Structure 1
Amino acid sequence: MKKTSLIQKLEVSKKEFHEISQLVTQPYIISDKKQYKTLLKKYTKLEKITSLYEEYNKKLSFVKEINSILENDSDIEMKEFVTIERHKTLESLSFLEKELYNLLFFSKEEESIKEDHRNSAILELRSGTGGDEACLFVEDMLRMYTMYFKKSGWKYQIIHAQKGGIKGYKEIILDINGEKGVYGNLKFESGVHRVQRIPKTESQGRVHTSAITVAVFPKVKDIEVNINLSDIKKDTFRSSGSGGQHVNKTESAVRLTHIPSKITVECQEERSQHKNFEKAISVLRSRIYQHEKEKRLKKISMKRKSLVSTGDRSVKIRTYNYPKNRITDHRIHKSTYDLVGFMNGNIQGMIDLLKSFEKK
């Protein structure tokens, strides 16, 4: 990592430390036990970083003084003495740089481990290329995932659904909850899933290729992502899904747009506008968290394992070939030949292989 990037990150941490130092003394923060505990944890970590950074700056200043002496002083003994001191100080600086780097970035590894243990996640399925066939595949994938959830003992709830033209779904969003590891397992599903099969509407028996996108976000708490309500544009509209006489009579469906990031979320599954708003804000919070995480990852030099679990939805990750009864995961170049079993929710074996590859 370049030294300038490290310094920039340290300056940001220093500023954050001083901001949190002010916050933890505020009565309204102290009275909120959860928020106070979270901030206090950040304060402790940032205090150590800031302290080491101050020591680092002192040594940098000392090196500058030594360099000035070496350039301008004619005393040979003095030059010999400061040369030795310069060598010692540079060694100390190198040690401090490594320690600061570990505190700043290895903690991200720990954060990733904690993130994997989250017991809830948001799963989004969207049709891509292929028209009606892609919508049908979204429905098939929904069935696959819900069967996997049942096998895993997880519960799920539909937050938003948009039906396809003839059958299937253009888009569906689920809220999944279970034991620890929900996100750690599902994160590998993010990306483009391609299907090769003969559509029911195909009269000449030709194999078509369609695609859908899957996105998985860790479900985050409000103390992890603070959303300013003034940054949100709220629109209401009439539900288009199931709901009997209620549909099209009241504007209970909610659309939220986060103005700074331009992220948009819709929710129309509840009859209450208030409940739809709560669910939409939960999804929005998760998307903003993922958006910021992806921005951060782009700035950091990533290891090879990031190819497995960055959650990049533009990358083709898996192909489901029905004529050959084959599922191929392109990230690990692994194929299995039990498509029926896989589509019945037996996907843990593939996820375990991806986990193993990530740890290499």
Structure 2
Amino acid sequence: MIDRITESRARYEDLSVQLADPNIHADPKRMREISREHSRLAQVVEAAARLDRARVELQGAQEMLAEGADDVEMAAMARDEAQRLTADVERLENELKLLLIPRDPLDDRDAVVEVRAGTGGDEAALFAGDLFRMYQRFADRQGWKIEVVSVSEGSAGGYKEAVFVVRGANAYGDLRYESGVHRVQRVPATETQGRIHTSAATVAVLPEAEEVDVQINPGELKIDVYRSSGPGGQSVNTTDSAVRITHLPTGLVVTCQDEKSQHKNKDKAMGVLRSRLLDARIAEQEAERARDRKAQVGTGDRSAKIRTYNFPQSRVTDHRIGYTTHAMQQVLDGGLDELIEALKLAIQEERAA
């Protein structure tokens, strides 16, 4: 571990020098890559510094304990301090070990999130709307920005589908394990007998792809333009600003009508298409690796039920790690921090093992 800390510190200093070079700012892509790595290594450097301080303080407490063996009161104080610092050192060592585990370079990317109503009709669309708002509120808490790509409203409210991009530090790294089937158990507003219904919505979280990640042949695209529908101002139903892009080799279809500009809608749709193609490539690679091992958490299989939101008991359960909380309303209000940290810890421990 000492060698990796030394390497991390040296790399951090090197990147700090590069960030101070005005020439780097002329290359936005390179600047973004360096900034991401510099930010990640800053966590390692800071954790290593805290560990060094704790070790020095622990050594001082142990020396005080040895020197004050004849003074009962001083020995007791030194012993308590040594016990506290020993626990601190152990905690900081574990924290640093996790930080030193090789990260997926995609974690620093922005995230493309797709929420779709599943089984359950109108209630599923309402639940998809709840999930969309949950991620909006979580993004607000993190200081992230959300760009809506497209939404399709349900007949009774909520959304049949909502596609949006989350922009912010480590957005994909934090949201990636939200992929899967989310199940809700509650009494729908239309239920007259008070019976609990079970509905579902699917969530797909993709790393935002850059042009260098996926090369798309323009000749393999079918691009249609049409008039937007729904809320959007004076341009709705007056200009052909909405865009539908079909990737002919795969059959993938992406639509965008959130912007009033056809050009902007096309750019957004192309971004989502690149992300879906990159995600398909990653899924193939994960499937190959998964053949040789049983993944406990991290496959992100969207056919798998990952979480249940039980309204009568105000309970949220993540089935992958057996995590349960009864603060369901807090979770739906964007309080996903504890759930996501528990999931990330489980993944990191699996990788470390």
Provide TM-score, normalisation by structure 2: 0.68
**1:192-207 → structure 2 map (5 Å cutoff):** 192-207=181-196
Counterpart among 288, 307, 329 of residue 299 in structure 1: 288
Question: Take 2:265 and 2:296, find their aligned partners in 1: how far apart are those partners?
Answer: 35
Cα distance change on mapping 1:303 and 1:185 into 2, 3 Å? farther
User: For each residue in 1:149-191, what CA deviation from the matched residue of structure 2 results, as whole angstroms up to 9, or x when unmatched?
Assistant: 1111111111111111121111111111112x21111001000
Match of 1:147 in 2: 137
Match of 1:319 in 2: 308
Q: CA deviation at 1:36?
A: 11
Matched position secondary structure for 1:340:
helix
1:227 and 2:212 matched: no
Matched position secondary structure for 1:186:
helix
Question: Take 1:343 and 1:210, find their aligned partners in 2: how far apart are those partners?
Answer: 16
Matched position secondary structure for 2:201:
strand
Match of 2:250 in 1: 261
Question: Take 1:238 and 1:327, find their aligned partners in 2: how far apart are those partners?
Answer: 41
Q: CA deviation at 1:304?
A: 5.8
Question: Take 1:325 and 1:300, find their aligned partners in 2: how far apart are those partners?
Answer: 37
Match of 1:113 in 2: 104
Question: Take 1:161 and 1:292, find their aligned partners in 2: how far apart are those partners?
Answer: 26
1:188 and 2:177 matched: yes
1:277 and 2:266 matched: yes
Q: Which amino acid in structure 2 is aligned with residue 158 of structure 1?
A: V
**1:1-360 → structure 2 map (5 Å cutoff):** 113-118=104-109, 120-179=110-169, 181-301=170-290, 306-359=295-348, 360=350
Q: Which amino acid in structure 2 is aligned with residue 259 of structure 1?
A: L
Matched position secondary structure for 1:323:
coil
Question: Take 1:33 and 1:136, find their aligned partners in 2: how far apart are those partners?
Answer: 44
Question: Take 2:335 and 2:29, find their aligned partners in 1: how far apart are those partners?
Answer: 40
- Kindly name which structure, 1 or 2, has the bigger radius of gyration based on alpha carbons: 1
Provide TM-score, normalisation by structure 1: 0.67
Q: CA deviation at 1:192?
A: 0.5
Q: CA deviation at 1:303?
A: 6.9
- Contact 1:241/1:269 (CA < 8 Å) preserved in 2? no
Question: Take 1:342 and 1:136, find their aligned partners in 2: how far apart are those partners?
Answer: 17
Question: Take 1:330 and 1:168, find their aligned partners in 2: how far apart are those partners?
Answer: 25
Matched position secondary structure for 1:133:
helix
Question: Take 1:260 and 1:316, find their aligned partners in 2: how far apart are those partners?
Answer: 30
Two-structure CA RMSD over aligned residues (Å):
2.2
Q: Which amino acid in structure 1 is aligned with residue 301 of structure 2?
A: D
User: For each residue in 1:324-357, what CA deviation from the matched residue of structure 2 results, as whole angstroms up to 9, or x when unmatched?
Assistant: 1111111112211111111111111111111111
Matched position secondary structure for 1:214:
strand
How many residue pairs were aligned? Answer: 255
Cα distance change on mapping 1:357 and 1:176 into 2, 3 Å? same
Question: Take 2:29 and 2:311, find their aligned partners in 1: how far apart are those partners?
Answer: 51
Q: Which amino acid in structure 2 is aligned with residue 282 of structure 1?
A: G
Q: Which amino acid in structure 1 is aligned with residue 343 of structure 2?
A: L
Structure 2, gaps ≥5 residues long: 1-25, 32-100
Q: CA deviation at 1:244?
A: 3.2
Q: Which amino acid in structure 2 is aligned with residue 223 of structure 1?
A: V
Matched position secondary structure for 2:297:
helix
